[in-house]
């Protein structure tokens, strides 16, 4: 309540006397050669992990929870609001133990599988290829299938490609039709294994490069305009050697994307709480979030060395915050709450991806429902939208918009002798010509003022939306699901000289929108 009163007072003083402090100058200029921010940067991830699929997306068609073929209608509607461009499935680590033929045909005849990576639970394979691809059709989103390289075979993956994509007569397309699907789904995006350096087989980069070449050779792009889009299992965070080997040893005509995985986690043995954290822990998580800038820059530099024409894309298909699970939940289910800290993490990361849109063409937040930095949490029939969901929704205006390059010197957010950039910014102009500027202030206590010269953009009027709260630890609960949600933001002023002055509250995300 105290913070709300302070914000109201600040708004009143602002309207009476204007901004009282000089702001950080931010320059946003149009550039005809700037890249398009690929909408696939805003992708999501659904692994067979904890309650992401079973008890999350999928409740079965006999459930009293409103559903379509067993998939929750409220989750579908919420994700459609985000306009999610793609959804990655079935893993993650689970992908390299998954045999797709076990998940087709009559549900009562499907064999079970023990999820050896996540909780040791037995799954009945009732959610399989048809269920997932039909879900993607409900969502109007592109499926991104992760193929089994670790425990599967070349033939198994080649058959899966044919099963979902081939429209002619073949053993696999005939099998698909027998299982009730006449027309192929035309799945374009394929991951060739997952984390081959770890749970995907603990391979050396040199060995995996050869494995990739073999698998990719036998994956046919039948019925897919432009062929399949194949993504190599990529590096973990700062393993630059891995990227170097893939770019050097894999012929680029076999390779459309190279993955990168990076989680904001401080200590894998002591990740810290998702809610009851101190500012020091928050600061360290923000360090890990900002590390994405360095990682992308250095991996891109390696890619540029071998691919100066930028034909191969960087695909950050796992990212997000990772903390200790909520008390009383299965440690293997990775269920965690989602606070304003996660909103900051999401805003900073998405700005980084936007600003590297020349090479970053897809990314996948881990994960969509009930796992890690989820956008949706469920409890039986209840559902809530997290602060991260709201950031993703605010940022959907950047989908397929042209990047507007931004330059500025950020003020610092300092704690115990260490410092980070306090402000993160990205901007774009949509196909309708409308400009959007997303700003994040990660400082836990300080309001930061900025000034943006809008003359070169031709903007005459703006509106703004903000996501903020009283405490960093604030989160939505099933009893109070709308505690945190975006609201109109008025604490800015535009001068006659075309300069907007705005005060960014502590730990806030603000979206400026041109009025057309």
Helices (DSSP H) in 181-260: which residue ranges?
A: 205-217, 240-249
Which residue, among 467, 276, 274, 281, has the nearest Cα to 377 in the 3D structure?
274
In contact, 403 and 410? CB cutoff 8 Å: no
In the residue annotation, 318 being an active-site residue is answered as: yes
Please state, in angstroms and rounded to a whole number, the distance separating the CA atoms of residues 165 and 181: 11
Is 294 known to be catalytic?
Answer: no
Pick the catalytic residue from 195, 503, 513, 514: 195
Q: What is the C-alpha separation between 446 and 505, in angstroms, rounded?
A: 7
Neighbours of 269 (CB within 10 A): 5
Tokens encoding 352: 């980084």
Could you count the other beta carbons within 10 Å of the beta carbon of residue 64?
Answer: 8
224-240 residues labelled b (16+ CB within 10 A) or e (exposed): beeebbbbbbbbbbebe
Q: What is d(CA 218, CA 198) in angstroms, rounded to the nearest whole number? A: 24
201: left (phi over 0), alpha (psi -120 to 50) or beta: left
Please, are residues 373 and 365 in contact by the beta-carbon 8 Å criterion? yes
Cβ neighbors of 67 (< 8 A, separation 6 or more) are 59, 60, 61, 73
β-strands 487-488, 435-441 pairing: unpaired
| CA trace torsion 94, 98, 104, 108 (10° rounding) | -80
DSSP result, 449-461: EEEEE-GGGT---
Task: Please tell me what DSSP assigns to residue 465.
Answer: E
User: Smallest Cα–Cα separation from 94: which of 207, 172, 191, 185?
Assistant: 191
68-74: long-range contacts, CB 8 A cutoff, minimum separation 24: 68/138, 69/131, 69/134, 70/126, 70/127, 70/131, 71/131, 71/134, 71/135, 71/138, 72/378, 72/383, 74/383
> Residue 448 forms beta bridges with which residues?
504
- Rounded CA gap, 376 and 392, in Å? 12
Residues 126 and 186: beta-carbon distance below 8 Å:
no
Q: Which helix H or strand E contains 258, and what residues bound it?
A: strand 257-264
Active-site entry in 318, 503, 513, 514: 318
Rounded CA separation 402/30 (Å): 9
Q: Hey, which residues are catalytic here? A: 195, 318
């Amino acid at each position: 309540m105290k913070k709300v009163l302070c914000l109201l007072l600040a708004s009143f003083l602002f309207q009476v006397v204007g901004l009282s402090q000089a702001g950080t100058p931010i320059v946003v200029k149009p550039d005809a050669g700037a890249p398009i921010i690929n909408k696939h940067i805003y992708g999501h991830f659904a692994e067979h992990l904890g309650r992401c699929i079973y008890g999350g997306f999928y409740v079965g068609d006999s459930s009293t929870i409103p559903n379509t073929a067993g998939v929750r209608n409220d989750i579908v509607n919420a994700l459609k609001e985000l306009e999610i461009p793609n959804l990655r499935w079935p893993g993650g680590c689970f992908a390299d133990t998954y045999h797709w033929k076990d998940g087709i045909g009559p549900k009562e005849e499907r064999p079970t599988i023990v999820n050896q990576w996540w909780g040791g639970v037995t799954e009945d394979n009732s959610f399989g290829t048809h269920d997932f691809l039909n879900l993607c059709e409900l969502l109007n989103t592109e499926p991104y299938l992760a193929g089994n390289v670790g425990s599967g075979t070349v033939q198994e993956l080649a058959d899966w490609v044919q099963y979902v994509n081939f429209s002619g007569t073949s053993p696999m397309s005939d099998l698909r039709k027998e299982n009730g699907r006449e027309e192929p789904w035309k799945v374009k995006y394929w991951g060739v294994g997952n984390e081959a350096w770890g749970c995907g087989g603990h391979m050396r980069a040199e060995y995996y490069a050869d494995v990739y070449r073999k698998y990719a050779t036998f994956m046919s792009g039948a019925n897919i305009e432009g062929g399949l889009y194949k993504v190599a299992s990529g590096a973990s965070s700062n393993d630059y050697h891995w990227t170097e080997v893939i770019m050097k040893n894999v012929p680029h005509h076999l390779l459309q994307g190279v993955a990168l995985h990076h989680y904001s986690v401080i200590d894998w043995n002591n990740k810290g709480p998702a809610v009851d954290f101190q500012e020091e822990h928050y600061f360290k998580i923000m360090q890990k979030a900002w590390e994405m800038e360095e990682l992308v820059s250095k991996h891109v530099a390696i890619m540029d060395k071998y691919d100066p024409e930028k034909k191969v894309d960087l695909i950050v298909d796992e990212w997000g915050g990772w903390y200790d699970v909520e008390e009383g939940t299965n440690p293997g289910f990775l269920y965690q709450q989602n606070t304003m800290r996660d909103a900051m993490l999401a805003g900073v990361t998405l700005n980084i991806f936007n600003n590297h849109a020349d090479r970053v063409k897809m990314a996948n937040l881990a994960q969509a429902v009930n796992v890690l930095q989820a956008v949706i949490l469920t409890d039986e029939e209840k559902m809530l939208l997290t602060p991260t969901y709201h950031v993703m929704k605010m940022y959907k205006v950047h989908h397929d918009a042209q990047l507007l390059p931004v330059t500025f010197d950020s003020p610092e957010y300092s704690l115990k002798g260490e410092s980070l950039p306090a402000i993160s910014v990205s901007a774009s102009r949509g196909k309708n010509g409308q400009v959007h500027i997303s700003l994040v202030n990660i400082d836990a206590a300080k309001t930061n003022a900025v000034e943006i010269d809008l003359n070169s953009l031709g903007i005459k009027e703006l509106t703004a939306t903000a996501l903020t709260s009283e405490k960093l630890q604030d989160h939505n609960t099933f009893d109070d699901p709308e505690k945190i949600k975006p609201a109109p933001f008025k604490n800015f002023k535009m001068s006659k000289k075309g300069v907007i002055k705005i005060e960014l509250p502590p730990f806030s995300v603000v979206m400026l929108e041109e009025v057309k």
